[in-house]
Structures are given as structure tokens and as C-alpha cells.
Amino acid sequence: MREGADPHALGPVLADLLGVPVELSELGRHELSLRELPNLAGPAEDPSVAVYLSDENGRGAQILLLFPLPDARALGDLMLGEGAPSEAILDACREVGNVIAGRFLSDLADRESGRLTPTTPVSTVDMAGAVISSVLANSPEGTSVLSLGIRMHAAHRRIGATLILMRLGLAP
């Protein structure tokens, strides 16, 4: 699968949102079969904040962003100050997920000379494997998967996340 924005290019976009300089690095990029996914973001039982968007036009693009719980807290500290309530941190993750996922969908639309309209992001806190396998079950046969490990460096904090891009109809 060729699609996928360059994470480095997202730094300035996130810096605008967070109000501090942000450097984004890519830790790894893998094309996967669906069955390899549940342990992708660490042990399947580990708690994560998940942000999910798909293409409103039903063209088979889906994006899932998973923040391990400590990284979600660090993001909350960065955006809201320390000790923010869970719901506010979830909102912050949803906002960042929306920016990152929107950028990836936009890049994908450019490559296909088409239009991809992201849905409103939905989010939850749950076991990473439970979220991933639920999204997979909702994906049609023939879906190909690209995963990216990303890390944000901002205000002396390092925040890691796993981005999973699912796309129907493109051979890996």
C-alpha cells in the first residue's frame, strides 16, 4: 500500500493545535495481514485510548489511532495542564486524532484524485486488542492494512501512538 502522509509534515499542523513546537517521527511502517493486527499496539489486553474515523462516502478508508494510556495522559498534560479530567483528555486525544487522521485521508484523496470526507471521530478507552479486532470485524474482505508507529516530541514530552490505516481494494 503506497498511501500515507509523511508524519514529519504533521509537526507544524500539530504545533498550531498544541501551541508549542512539535516534532513528529516515524518509528516504523508495516503492511500487515488482518490477523497480525490485534497485538500491533502492544499486548492486546493493554488499556489504550482509541480514536476512529472512516470515510463518510463509504469508500472503504478507515483510520484508527491508539494511544497507550500513559501517552494519552502525557498528551492531556501537554494540552490541558496536569490533572485534567478523563473526559477532557479523551477530547484532546480525539482532537489530535482528528488532525492526524484528516491529514492522512486528505493525502489519500489527493493520490486518488478523489474526495474522502472523514466522519466525526469516535473514541473510547479499552483494551487495544478489543478495539482493533472490532474494527477489523467491521472491515470488508480484501481490506489492506498499513500501520505506523509515530512519536511526538513536544515541550520535553515524548508521546507515542500507533496509527492503523485500512483501505479496501488496494493490494499491499
CA distance 143 to 5: 19
53 is a site residue for another protein (CB under 8 A): no
**Between residues 2 and 35, which has the closer beta carbon with respect to another protein?**
35
Beta carbon of residue 35, minimum distance to another protein (angstroms, whole number):
5
Among 10, 24, 61, 89, binds another protein (CB under 8 A): 89
Among 60, 76, 97, 160, binds another protein (CB under 8 A): 76
165 is a site residue for another protein (CB under 8 A): no
Spell out the residues 6+ positions from residue 144 whose beta carbon is closer than 8 angstroms to its own: 1, 31, 166, 167, 168, 170, 171, 172
**Could you identify the residue written with the cell 508507529?**
149
Sheet strands side by side (includes 61-68):
22-32, 143-154, 157-168, 61-68, 47-54, 122-127
By the criterion CB under 8 A, which residues form the site for another protein? 34-35, 37-38, 43-45, 47, 49-50, 52, 69, 72-73, 76, 86, 89-90, 122, 124-138, 141
